[in-house]
Amino acid sequence: MGLVGIVLVSHSEQLASGLRDLLRQVATPEVPIIAAGGTPDGDLGTSPDRLAEAIAAADSGDGVIILADLGSAVLTARAVLEEAPGPLLVDAPFVEGAVAAAVTASTGAGLEEVAEAAREARDVPKF
């Protein structure tokens, strides 16, 4: 049995990788967490090819959620999903949603439960 995978889509490779590193601190090592940030030449932007590769790498059989940082990352994710439906693009805060999703995925929760945890992070006050 696999766990729900998490793909982090950002305009910045450093931002996506940094968030992935944070999630590795809160999730069990078995949760597939893949960063898909920046362009192949190291610039800011989102790469459909990188995203498609990240989805494949994160898929251990129990589904994949995608969290995106900004609007055009969402547009890129939607375009990729038109070609390869299955993963779930989740409308959630990038950092807080990713943390909630990673912790929930660590428990062995299913795709919808992991996605809902990410969404609910929007309503958790910071103080």
Tokens at 7, concatenated = 């793909």
* pLDDT, tens digit, 9 for 90 and up, residues 90-123: 999 999 999 999 999 999 999 999 999 999 999 9
Sign of CA dihedral 71, 112, 124, 10: negative
Q: What is the pLDDT of residues 3-61, one digit of tens each?
A: 999 999 999 999 999 999 999 999 999 999 999 999 999 899 999 999 999 999 999 99
3-class secondary-structure state, position 113: helix
Alpha-carbon span 2 to 106, nearest angstrom:
10
Its pTM stands at 0.95
- DSSP per position, 26-83: HS-TTS-EEEEEB-TTS-SSB-HHHHHHHHHHH-SSS-EEEEESSHHHHHHHHHHHHH
What residues act catalytically?
A: 11
Q: Among 2.60.120.260, 3.40.50.510, 3.30.365.10, 3.40.50.10470, what is the CATH number of 7-122?
A: 3.40.50.510
